[in-house]
Structure formats: C-alpha cells, structure tokens
Structure 1
Amino acid sequence: MSVEIESFATRRTVLGALATSPLWMSSAWAQPNNLKISHQFPGGSIARGDFRDRLCRMFASEVEKRTRGGVKFSIYPDSTMMQPGAQFGALRSGKLDMALVPLSYAGAEAPEANIGLMPALVTSYEQGYGWRNAPVGRELSRILGEQGLVIVSWIWQAGGVASRGDPIIAPEDARGLKVRGGSREMDMLLQNAGATVVNMPSNEIYNALRSGALDAALTSSTSLISFRLQETARSLTTARAGSYWFMFEPLLMSRSVFERLTKAQQQAVMTVGADLEKFAMNSARMDDAEVATVYRGVGARVVDLNPDALRGWQEVARNTAWKDFAARNSNCAKLMALAEQSIAAI
C-alpha cells in the first residue's frame, strides 16, 4: 500500500512540474485553434478564382505558417456553411470565427454598417483604403469592436451595373426598372431615380436576371464575373471611369475568438490581414478592367460612367441616402460627418 501511495505522489509531483515548465507551456501554446472562414463567393485555390476566396486562402496559409501551426483554418466558400445574412449574428456571438462579407449586409442589425455601401460617398480606391487610418475608419472600427467584430483586412470593391436591356448610366435610366442595389441606402437612391428595388444577396442575382425577376443589378466587378452574369445581361456599365457603387467587404473575425488567441497569434492575424490589402486593391482594379473584356466578348454593350452622370448620382445621394443615414442615430451622424470630411480633404 505504501509503495502505491508513494508512486501516486511521485507521478503527481512530476506532472505538476511539467505543467509549470517552459517546455510544457510552449507545447500548450502550439495547440491549434481550428478556425472556420465563411463567405458567399465561388471557391477556387490560392492561385486561381475569385480573389476574395483566394485572399482567404492566402491569409489562412500565411497565418498558419507564422504561428507554426498554432492557428489553422477551414474555408467554406459559396455559402456552404451558412447564408450570407446569418454571418454577422454568428460572428458577434462567437458561433462563427471569421467571414469575408459585405458590411452592408449587417444593416438590418446595425444601421452603422450601411456606411459600407453608401452611394457616391466613396468614389475611388485611394479614398476607400484611406479610411483605415483616417478618423472615419477609426470610428467605424470602434463601433464594430463594440458589436463584437474585428476588422482584419480592409477590402473595397468598385461595382458596375449588369442590365438585361439598355445600360444604366444616369439616374433617369433606372426609371421603371426592377433593380438590385445591395444596401438600404443604395435602394433609396434607386427608388428616388424611379426604380423598383429588389433585395437579394449577390449569389442570387444570376437566377433573378435570367428569370426576369430583375432587369438590372448593381454589384462588384468581381461578382459580375464570378457569378457569370454576362450570360444574362445585354449591357454593362463599368467602374473603370469612376463609380457611385463602392462596397466595403472586410475580412472580419469574431472579437471573442480574437481575444482568446495569444498576443503573438493576434499580431500574426492582423499583420497578415494588413499585408493582403494591397493584393485586394490590385485584384479589384484588375477585375474592373477584365469585366469589360468578358462582357464585350459575349456581345454585350459596354459603357463607362461619365463625370456628369457620376455627379448626378452623388447629388441624388447627398439629398436622400446620406441625409437619411445621418439621421438614424448618433453613431451614423458621426460617421457621415467624418466621411464627408474625408471627401473635402481629397
């Protein structure tokens, strides 16, 4: 009996020593966090496909390398994990680890999110990416942080209009058409122009255009390609000469998930996320150019916005969507004021 007691005490002493030793603690740090990244865009590989899916895969590979396998990822493209609109609630509750998702999709839950697709507020990539370190971007990060979200990568995309009929250039061209805008404020702009608004995520546009449920749809240049909308459209208005449709589509992490990572892992996540923003901007610009080639290749009429048309859309937005957004709550008012300051600074 005494031998058994002594043996048990010895094992307990050894285990206790191991638990407090640097070697044991290092091993515990290296235990992988298996995080899930969800998005609605077509899947591919690091080398090929929709750049938003590629960015997620590049991010996962680089963070895993920098954390020596301490953080691993599984990627779920094409809404295979959950529907686009469900991702924000899941991120905020910690039920979903990460998502690359249009921020405006959270507008119903958090009205501040609609700043991410505010018509004619952002009209260039330089302006959009400038938000990251500008007062408007810091305020947006603060608001999202309070709502349980961390911006890992700032991703902006210009968009155009795919149409079953004539191209939509000036506001009056939308009159009488069924059009998908993509956010509450974009819908308000279209309604003021005389369109009937149809709400749906970008991965449902193809079938709606094919069936005639939509006459036209505004979406990013990348989605205009990835979702093969050229098969359903006779006309395309591109973003090559400027656009009143710029969408913020960040790579987000649940704050509760972020906070359970070690400081070194958090630093790896944020550093890699920031490093990939140049890839995102260059890829989006390439898609703005490529989309014109793709649509022209199937015989669609391809046009660009002219400066007068862009100013016309901005004037409509200033008196409708911008004013409505600023009146929703104090956060929205502050965001709009800071965003307008960023326009004046250009």
Structure 2
Amino acid sequence: METTRRRVLLGSVATLSMWVAGRMPGLAQAHAADSTTLKISHQFPGGTLTSGDFRDRLCRRFAMEVEKRTNGTLKFQIYPGSSLMKTTAQFSGLRRGALDLSLYPLPYAGGQVRELNIGLMPGLVTSYAQGAAWKNAEIGKALTDLLAAKDVVLVSWIWQAGGVASRVRPLVNPEDAKGMKVRGGSREMDMILKQAGAAVISVPSNELYAAMQTGAMDAAMTSSTSLMSFRLEEVSKFLTTGRDKAYWFMLEPLLMSKSVFDRLSKPQQDAIMQVGAEMEAFGTQAAKADDQSVAAAYTKVGAKVVDLDQAVVAKWQNIARTSAWKDYASRSQDCARFLALAEKVQA
C-alpha cells in the first residue's frame, strides 16, 4: 500500500512538472538557468567595484551589470592575479572552453595565432581615438572574425597606453636602450628594442617586479596601469610616461570562450555583448586617468619623470616600420592584410 501511494505521489509531481514546463516554458528555462556561474580570470591585482586596478574593476562592473540584466540567470566569479589559471594558459583555456572569460593582453596569444601580435605593434596606434576606431573599421571585423574562427568572442575593446619604468637610466630615445635589459611586451616590441641595441626579457606583467628587483631586467615597457598596480615605482628610478604621446598601445580586450557563449540563450548573449560594449567607455576613461596618475605616483617617490614628444615617437616609428612591421607583414598573407587594414585607420 505504501509503495503504491509513493508511486502515485511521484507520478503526480512528474505530471505537474511537465504541465508547468508546457504551460510556462519561460519559467522552467529561467529556473534551469539560475545556477549558471561564469568564471572571469585575469593576471592583474584584485580590488573592488570602486578601487584598485581598473581592469579588475571593469570585470566586476561587467559581471554586476550582466547579472542584473539577465535577472540573475547569469552570475560571475572573478579570479584576479592569475589565481584560477596561469596567465599564458588563459587564451588556450578560452579556446578549449576550459575558461569562460578573460581580460587578456591580445599579443600574449601571438605564439598561438601570430596575427594577434598586431595588438601591440609599436607605433601603429598612437592615440586612444585611433585605437577605438579599429572596432568599426575593416581591421576590427578582421580581428573579430579571426578570433571567432579560433573559438573566442571579443566582448570589449580595451586599449591602454604605456610607458617605461627603469632602474638604471631613462629610456626615452632609441639610443638610450643600448646595453639595457628591457621587457617590451610583444615579439614586435622586442624587435625594435633589439634594433636599438637592447637585450630583451620576456615575462608577463605580474612577474615584472621580481625581475626588476633582482636585476634580471633593467627596464619594463608596460601599460600605465600596470606600472602602478605592480608597484614598479618601488624598484625604479626613472619613468617615461604615455600621458601625452606614446608609441606603446596595447589591446587588452575582454574575451569569452565561443563554446561557452554559444550555449547561452539569445537574451543572455545580447546582455553580454551590450554590457561589453558599454564597458569600453569606462576602460578608456580609466586608462587615460592612469596615464596621468602614474606620473604623480612616480614623482612622489622621487623618480625622474619624462614625457615623450612627437619627434621621439617618430624615431621609434621609423625603426618599427623597417623591422617589426616588415617582419610581421612577411609572416603570412593574413598578417600583411591585417597590417594594411590597420594602417588605414589614421591617428
């Protein structure tokens, strides 16, 4: 009798569940999606919504807004400081669907997809406006399509200007680099440094402090934000800023695994892309603010601060055209095409 009663009860529950799913499919789908939590990884120091490295704050703002617009059907966990996955593994993690999202310096993936080195091509982008114009230009479509073919979705276009922190002498003109051990940040940056007579060091941003502290590196080229977030002022005596003129502009987009993106509903996908586009203004404003703040931070500890002028930028560009640009274009037809498309977008 008891067994029969349980069967009747279970059957009634199953029938009710099927009726709800049939009459109220939206409710059933929303309930099923309640537990969807996506992980965002990046290499930068963690913070809060209102303080800390702006790239971490951008991820948190993005997560909060997408959760709100999807009525909580999408939630996020943020993993700063490469605490979830090593920096260099994050791009391949996105491609395999092992990582959901990452705010990732695009040329770090140049070893896997050589065309992506264009994201830090010395002297190619010299202003935020020029970088922002890539998104809706032919080069933007080409990059977006290339990433999609590699199973990655470009969610937010984030550009950052950069400078140089040095512990031995200022690195301003190309001739200053001779004999120095310098981190450029990409294969192409390394090429112009070698052309100028430097020895190049290859490490991710979160390892710069240790390399500078131990003397393994004399100078580091990186974004204004990283120059502060990784506390390089503690191990540097000189700073060349990117606050007025710069030949170092890095594309550090928010990326998402395409396989993960494709599993989401259309409203969820739309929310991610809409919020991602909205984060671009915040990213630009924050990056520009850091270009100013970095000079103040280094001046405060007694470092000598130098700004670039157009004549110095032109010197680095001339070296870049005959070395890095030429080499990049020779690597494949797609590289040559990407460079040509990027050159169409004027400063």
TM-score, normalised by the number of residues in structure 1: 0.96
- Does 2:118 correspond to 1:108? no
154-163 vs 329-338, which moves further = 329-338
Work out which of the residue numbers 284, 287, 290 in structure 1 matches 2:290.
287
Give the root-mean-square deviation of aligned CA atoms: 1.6
Shift of 1:8: 6.6
1:335/1:14 CA distance change after superposition, 3 Å: same
- Does 2:86 correspond to 1:76? no
Work out which of the residue numbers 63, 70, 81 in structure 2 matches 1:60.
63
Any conservation in 2 of the 1:30–1:68 contact (CA below 8 Å)? Answer: no
Distance in 2, Cα, partners of 1:44 & 1:9: 51
Three-state SS of the structure 1 residue aligned to 2:135 is helix
1:241/1:10 CA distance change after superposition, 3 Å: closer
Deviations 1:147-167 (A, max 9, x none): 011111110000000001221
| Equivalent AA in structure 2 for residue 316 of structure 1 | I
Structure 2's unaligned 5+ residue stretches are none
Distance in 2, Cα, partners of 1:306 & 1:15: 69
- Does 2:128 correspond to 1:99? no
Shift of 1:4: 8.2
- Does 2:220 correspond to 1:217? yes
Any conservation in 2 of the 1:238–1:305 contact (CA below 8 Å)? Answer: yes
Shift of 1:18: 2.7
Shift of 1:306: 1.6
Shift of 1:32: 3.1
Distance in 1, Cα, partners of 2:4 & 2:303: 89
1:8/1:46 CA distance change after superposition, 3 Å: closer
Distance in 2, Cα, partners of 1:94 & 1:112: 21
- Does 2:267 correspond to 1:252? no
Three-state SS of the structure 2 residue aligned to 1:52 is helix
Distance in 1, Cα, partners of 2:287 & 2:128: 9
Deviations 1:53-87 (A, max 9, x none): 00000011110011011000000001111111000
Distance in 1, Cα, partners of 2:208 & 2:35: 38
Three-state SS of the structure 1 residue aligned to 2:222 is strand
Three-state SS of the structure 1 residue aligned to 2:134 is helix
| Equivalent AA in structure 2 for residue 93 of structure 1 | R
1:4/1:107 CA distance change after superposition, 3 Å: closer
Shift of 1:2: 9.0
Distance in 2, Cα, partners of 1:95 & 1:26: 24
Shift of 1:17: 2.3
Distance in 2, Cα, partners of 1:115 & 1:80: 27
Three-state SS of the structure 1 residue aligned to 2:75 is strand
Distance in 2, Cα, partners of 1:136 & 1:260: 28
- Does 2:142 correspond to 1:139? yes
Matching residue of 1:163: 166
- Identity across aligned pairs (percent)? 55
Shift of 1:27: 3.4
TM-score, normalised by the number of residues in structure 2: 0.95
| Equivalent AA in structure 1 for residue 24 of structure 2 | P
Any conservation in 1 of the 2:30–2:73 contact (CA below 8 Å)? Answer: no
Work out which of the residue numbers 158, 162, 177 in structure 1 matches 2:180.
177
Shift of 1:341: 1.2
Structure 1's unaligned 5+ residue stretches are none
Three-state SS of the structure 2 residue aligned to 1:293 is helix
